[in-house]
């Protein structure tokens, strides 16, 4: 499998010398074609900043980002805008649906912008919404949908044009647990089917059940990478166990991969050499 997304020591510093915040600190990660990755870590660890740079919405202070072999920093503003529209799908915490378009029209919009709203495209837009459990809501406006339903429309919109990478920031934040599992499973299936790469930020370690790799950030740095299936499965099931034991509030604060999955060299170390 080829590498679809790569960052090389990417760094983001906000503010000036007096009040600088190093939000992302020399992060080097890789995502393979068809790979679905969970990006986890405490609030403020730099996940959204990293995603925004990968979406070519924010410039890095230093380092480089590559998607499908192309370096984002080497593109002109015009090329970058086009690349973003064609090769990147994203859903951010605020889902930014167009208020006067229906659910289906919001999804179709990505195809329309790319000049690809033909019969096949229309079928795909509808199929995605059906697979995400929105068959009854195709013609509803965003304001006629719950927060969770809006999030699912945003996921369909991020995938419909078969971008090289799909970036989703907390896509399950307003879903109940059962629905969150369903949505993440569908999301995972779709990433695997279309052989792009996917990165999902999540604060819920139970959702790692459906991912191929878990990347943890703390204080702007990558502190852990899990790629071993058995390790990821035990992380997911231990998190489910913890969630069942704890009140939901306590569980929400458990944002760092517990010690059971201490790094061992062959799977967990990011090669910083
Ligand atoms: P996360 O998504 O993991 O919560 P963020 O990327 O949103 O992390 O934030 C990382 C750090 O950068 C935090 O300390 C945050 O306060 C800071 N930060 C984020 N966006 C900005 C901004 N536009 N200006 C200044 N600081 C910011
Ligand atoms: Mg965030």
Each residue's pLDDT tens digit, 39-54: 999 999 999 999 999 9
77-100 per-position pLDDT tens digit: 999 999 999 999 999 877 789 999
In sequence order, the 6+-apart residues with CB closer than 8 A to the CB of 109 are 98, 101, 157
Probe target for ligand 1 pocket from 15, 40, 49, with the most ligand atoms within 8 Å of CB: 49
pLDDT at 257: 67
Query: Domain spans of the chain?
Result: 3-268
From the CB of 16, is ligand 1 less than 6 Å away?
A: no
Ligand 2 centroid, distance to 22 Cα (angstroms): 15
Q: What three-state secondary structure class fits 71?
A: strand
Q: Which fold has domain 3-268?
A: Rossmann fold (3.40.50)
6-51 per-position pLDDT tens digit: 999 999 999 987 889 999 999 999 999 999 999 999 999 999 999 9
From the CB of 202, is ligand 1 less than 6 Å away?
A: no
From the CB of 216, is ligand 1 less than 6 Å away?
A: no
pLDDT at 247: 55
**What is the pTM (predicted TM-score) of this model?**
0.89
161-212 per-position pLDDT tens digit: 999 999 999 998 888 888 899 999 999 999 999 889 999 999 889 999 999 9
For the chain, what's the residue count? 273
In sequence order, the 6+-apart residues with CB closer than 8 A to the CB of 252 are 203
Using 50, 70 and 90 to split pLDDT, how confident is the model at 246?
A: low
CA distance 51 to 198: 11
């Amino acid at each position: 499998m080829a590498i679809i997304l790569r960052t090389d020591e990417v760094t983001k510093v906000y503010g000036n010398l007096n009040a600088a915040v190093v939000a992302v600190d020399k992060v080097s990660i890789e995502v393979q074609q068809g790979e679905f990755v969970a990006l986890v870590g405490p609030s403020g660890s730099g996940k959204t900043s990293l995603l925004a740079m990968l979406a070519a919405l924010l410039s890095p202070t230093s380092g480089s980002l590559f998607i499908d072999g192309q370096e984002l920093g080497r593109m002109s503003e015009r090329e970058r805008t086009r690349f973003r529209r064609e090769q990147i799908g994203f859903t951010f915490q605020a889902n930014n649906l167009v208020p006067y378009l229906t659910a289906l029209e919001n999804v179709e919009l990505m195809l329309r912008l790319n000049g690809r709203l033909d019969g096949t495209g229309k079928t795909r837009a509808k199929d995605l919404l059906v697979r995400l459990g929105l068959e009854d809501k195709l013609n509803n406006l965003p304001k006629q949908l719950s927060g969770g339903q809006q999030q699912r429309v945003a996921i369909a919109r991020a995938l419909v044009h078969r971008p090289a990478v799909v970036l989703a920031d907390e896509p399950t934040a307003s879903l109940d647990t059962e629905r969150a599992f369903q949505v993440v499973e569908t999301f995972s299936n779709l990433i695997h089917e279309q052989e792009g790469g996917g990165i999902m930020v999540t604060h819920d370690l139970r959702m790692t059940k459906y991912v191929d790799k878990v990347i943890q950030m703390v204080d702007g740095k990558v502190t852990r990478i899990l790629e071993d299936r058995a390790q990821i499965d035990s992380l997911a099931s231990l998190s489910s166990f913890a969630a069942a034991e704890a009140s939901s509030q306590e569980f929400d604060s458990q944002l760092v991969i517990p010690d059971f999955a201490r790094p061992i060299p062959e799977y967990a170390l990011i090669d910083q050499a």
